[in-house]
Amino acid sequence: MIDVLRARRRIAPYVYRTPLIRSAWLSGLTGASVTLKAESLQRSSSFKARGAFNAVIARLERPGGPPSRLVTASAGNHGRGLASAAKTFNLPLVVFTPKDAPAAKLDAIRRDGADLRPEGRDYDEAERMAKAFAAETGAEFISPYSDLDVIAGAATVALEIFEDEPAVDTLVVPIGGGGLISGAATVAKAINPRCEVIGVELDVANAFQQSLRAGKLVEIDAGASLADGLGGNPDPDTITFAIIQRLVDRIVTVSEAELAAAVVGLVEAEHLIAEGAGAAATAALVGKRLDVRGRNAAVIVSGANIDRARLRSLL
């Protein structure tokens, strides 16, 4: 069960309630009333802090005492959020990432004292390495997405959206491993069953869109993207696929040019910094992949951990 209210109580002292910002830029572009949920302003500059803190605190509450060591795999943001949570509660943490993960994310993981291992050829390999490490050492593996506590923490994003703007009837959410949209859709459909929940993947990496069409989880050959946090394949046993099948209305994809335009537009129009993955939901509106005319749409800007050189080149 995804216990969102309990998650909110757990993480309230450790994360920020981020603003829901009305966007004149996107409202004018789409003919809708568009708000931006600025998780780019969250602790560790990503929504991932919510799930990370909830997962760590949930484990501390279990009988038998805390785990001796934690391990995870990450494209960067989950590792950064979990490193912050592990440091807060003095728990050893090992983080496996791709070799080419953005320096802004890797440097932050190191600063929080985690044992960083940027050794994977890609995210998929980093996840396999983290699971193997857990099996060999007895460390507890915390998935970035396929974990009920992680999903419940992420779901608090949507809870805040509906508290601030109860009239939201369209929720646009980026999809990587599916943890954020699983939590957000659970909240949205519980509050307003008619709310349309739309996921956003990449033209070059759309595992869930293809899996929904196939009726089962399929493996894709993901291409390189500005949205490094959304690439790769989900765990074949992920719990998120069934939730997405049941609660997400549709999934659209965005191009690299649309991602770049969204990153630039958020800076120029909203003075918000977003990484590629963080701007993916915005890109779906910028690229007119969605028709939201006349609707009350909330768009999640999920993270801001972009390398300075990359941001400078886009601007």
| Helix locations, 112-201, DSSP H | 123-137, 148-164, 179-191
Phi, psi of 255 (to 5 degrees): -90, 170
Sheet holding 93-98, edge to edge: 115-120, 93-98, 70-73, 140-141
Residues 6 or more apart in contact with residue 297 via CB below 8 angstroms? 30, 32, 33, 34, 35, 168, 169, 170, 171, 172, 285
Both structure tokens of 289: 């992949």
pLDDT at 290: 96
Both structure tokens of 223: 């291409």
Q: What is the pLDDT of residues 89-143, one digit of tens each?
A: 999 999 999 999 999 999 999 999 999 999 999 999 999 999 999 999 999 999 9
Res. 3: pLDDT tops 90: yes
pLDDT at 65: 84
Q: What is the pLDDT of residues 31-90, one digit of tens each?
A: 999 999 999 999 999 999 999 999 999 999 999 888 999 999 999 999 999 999 999 999
Res. 160: pLDDT tops 90: yes
pTM of the model: 0.96
